[in-house]
């Protein structure tokens, strides 16, 4: 039987904090309508999507400014099992970790840090995420047949994952090694049937020289993941997100969902972004300089007009239990793309291998006779 614990649902009442205008109950953000919906009286309230926070923030001023920190009264909870840190409103208590299901959660002294300016609101509902999961697990031939009937699905939670985006103007001075092809006619002697014969052919050679120059490039919205709670491989598979849907962060969108606190600092994130920009600069120079082979041997880059944004991206996270093991899966809260880990049926693999071997043997007998 499919045991998907009914009494464990819904899981998110802990994070609710916007009151229903009609009955005073706690409302939830509703992905289908992108508004608030009261689970008690069904009253719906629209959320006005605004775009004031799309402005870039000054990176160099971020260090000493106390601006852009969480304005609301928040607390940071940490999971003792996987280390994930969630930012929750002060009146809210977390009783399990959305990332690994553990109930070993404690409040930390940490402040919530820089407040996200923008987010992509959930567009996939919890039910849709569940359907996506069922479809996904059915599609895996090598998963044990039993799994499809008896997996125990854990709570499915909607979490906003923290990201940084960086802009920067760059000025680089480069030294490149340039190779150009030329051809030489080479004559050599071959011996055939005891007779010598002259053969000429074109041989490709490379002439090298060094040159240097300046290169300018502007980078817009280099996206850096600010936490590693979710396996990077899984996260990679549900990307991309359509960043054009970013809207202002609002408390309403968080109702029923949680935000993970960033683990990569603003500064660390920029160091990572610089690495990505540098490889962009390197390939830009390689395209710009004329030559058959262009190798950058020296590059010094100045980064100016650096700005950043702190954004949140929506992910449904859950895990399921099968044969004493836990497997994590995630659904992109914007596009519905799924990825996850799943058990492989040894029996199915062995059976298929044996079948193929028998088939090959029969074919062999047939050809041989
Ligand atoms: Zn109500
Ligand atoms: Zn955890």
Q: What gap in Å lies between CA 8 and CA 156, rounded to an integer?
A: 10
The Cβ of residue 88 has, within 10 Å, a number of other Cβ atoms equal to 21
> How far, CA to CA in Å, does 365 sit from each of 186, 351, 357, 369?
53, 21, 12, 6
Please give the pLDDT value at position 21.
86
- Across the range 78-88, mean pLDDT stands at 86
pLDDT digits (tens, 9 = 90+) for 212-248: 999 999 999 999 999 888 888 999 999 999 998 999 9
Radius of gyration of the chain (CA): 29
Record the tokens describing residue 70, joined without a space: 């969480």
Beta-carbon count within 10 A of 228 CB: 12
Rounded distance from Cα 248 to ligand 1 centre (Å)? 25
Segment 270-287 shows an average pLDDT of: 96
Q: Of 86, 158, 81, which Cα lies nearest the Cα of 126?
A: 158
Q: What is the dihedral of CA 282, 264, 256, 13, to 10 degrees?
A: 160
CA pair distance 66, 113, nearest whole angstrom: 10
Question: How many angstroms separate the alpha carbon of residue 156 from the centre of ligand 2?
Answer: 13
CA–centroid distance, 76 to ligand 1, in Å, is 29
Ligand in nearest proximity to the CA of 26: 1
Could you tell me what percent of the chain has a pLDDT over 90? 40
What's the 104 CA to ligand 2 centre distance in angstroms? 8
Tally of helices (H runs) and strands (E runs) in the chain: 7, 16
- Which residues does 48 contact at the CB level (< 8 Å), separation at least 6? none
Element (H, E) at 135: helix 126-138
Is pLDDT above 60 for 16?
no
144: confidence class by pLDDT, cuts 50, 70, 90:
low
Q: Round the average pLDDT of the chain to a whole number and report it.
A: 84
pLDDT at 63: 58
| Ligand 2 midpoint to CA 261 (Å) | 13
b/e burial code for range 311-337 (CB count within 10 A of at least 16 → b): bbbbbbbbbbebeeeebbbbbbbbbbb
* Residues paired with 308 in a beta bridge: 57, 166
Domain boundaries, the chain: 6-181+209-368
**How many C-beta atoms surround the C-beta of residue 140 within 10 A?**
15
3-state class (DSSP) for residue 363: helix
For residue 271, give Cα distances in angstroms to 180, 263, 275, 278, 341. 35, 14, 6, 11, 31
The bound ligand whose nearest atom lies closest to the alpha carbon of 40 is 1
Where is average pLDDT lowest: 82-96, 104-118, 278-292, 322-336? 82-96
Q: Strand, helix or coil at 137? A: helix
The whole-angstrom distance between residue 87's C-alpha and the CA centroid of its chain comes to 19
Q: Nearest-CA neighbor of 121 among 50, 54, 34, 51?
A: 34
Q: Which of 86-90, 325-329, 331-335 has the highest mean pLDDT?
A: 331-335
* 270-279 CB contacts, 8 Å cutoff, 24+ apart: 270/59, 270/164, 270/166, 270/224, 270/306, 270/308, 272/224, 273/164, 273/166, 273/168, 273/219, 273/222, 273/224, 274/303, 276/222, 276/224, 277/168, 277/170, 277/217, 277/219, 277/222, 277/301, 277/303
Q: How many Å lie between the centroid of ligand 2 and the Cα of residue 137?
A: 23
Q: Which residue has the higher pLDDT, 347 or 222?
A: 222
Distance 42 CA to ligand 1 centre (A): 6
Most confident range (mean pLDDT) of 1-5, 47-51, 156-160, 177-181 is 177-181
The token pair at 208 is: 């090298």
Q: With beta carbons less than 8 A apart as the criterion, state whether 152 and 320 touch.
A: yes
Q: How far is ligand 2, taken at its centre, from the CA of residue 228, in Å?
A: 12
CA dihedral 326, 97, 149, 141 (to 10 degrees): -60
Residue with tokens 């071997």: 357
């Amino acid at each position: 039987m499919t045991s998907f614990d009914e009494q464990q649902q819904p899981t998110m009442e802990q994070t609710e904090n916007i009151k229903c205008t009609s009955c005073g109950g706690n409302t939830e953000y509703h992905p289908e309508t992108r508004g608030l919906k009261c689970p008690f009286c069904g009253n719906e309230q629209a959320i006005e999507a605004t775009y004031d926070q799309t402005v870039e923030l000054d990176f160099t001023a971020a260090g000493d400014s106390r601006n852009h920190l969480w304005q609301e009264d928040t607390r940071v909870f940490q999971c003792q099992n996987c280390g994930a840190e969630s930012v929750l409103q002060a009146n809210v208590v977390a009783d399990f970790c959305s990332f690994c299901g553990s109930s070993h959660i404690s409040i930390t002294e940490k402040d919530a840090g820089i407040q996200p300016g923008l987010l992509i609101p959930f567009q996939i509902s919890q039910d849709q995420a569940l359907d996506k999961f069922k479809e996904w697990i059915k599609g895996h031939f090598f998963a044990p047949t039993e799994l499809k009937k008896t997996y125990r699905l854990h709570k499915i939670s909607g979490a906003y994952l923290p990201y940084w985006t960086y802009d920067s103007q760059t000025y680089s001075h480069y030294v490149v090694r340039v190779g150009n092809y030329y051809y030489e006619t080479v004559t050599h002697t071959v011996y055939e049937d005891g007779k010598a014969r002259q053969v000429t052919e074109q041989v490709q050679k490379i002439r090298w020289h060094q040159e240097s120059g300046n290169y300018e490039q502007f980078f817009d919205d280099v996206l850096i993941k600010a936490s590693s709670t979710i396996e990077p491989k899984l996260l990679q598979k549900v990307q991309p997100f359509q960043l054009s849907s970013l809207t202002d962060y609002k408390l309403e969108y968080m109702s029923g969902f949680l935000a993970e606190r960033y683990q990569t600092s603003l500064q660390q994130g920029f160091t990572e972004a610089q690495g990505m920009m540098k490889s962009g600069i390197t390939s830009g120079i390689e395209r710009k300089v004329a030559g058959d082979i262009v190798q950058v041997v020296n590059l010094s880059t100045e980064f100016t007009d650096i700005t950043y944004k702190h954004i949140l991206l929506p992910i449904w996270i859950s895990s399921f239990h099968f044969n004493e093991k836990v497997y994590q899966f995630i659904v992109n809260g914007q596009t519905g793309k799924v990825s996850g880990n799943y058990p492989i049926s040894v029996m199915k693999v062995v059976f298929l291998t044996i079948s193929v071997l028998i088939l090959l043997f029969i074919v062999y007998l047939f050809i041989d006779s």
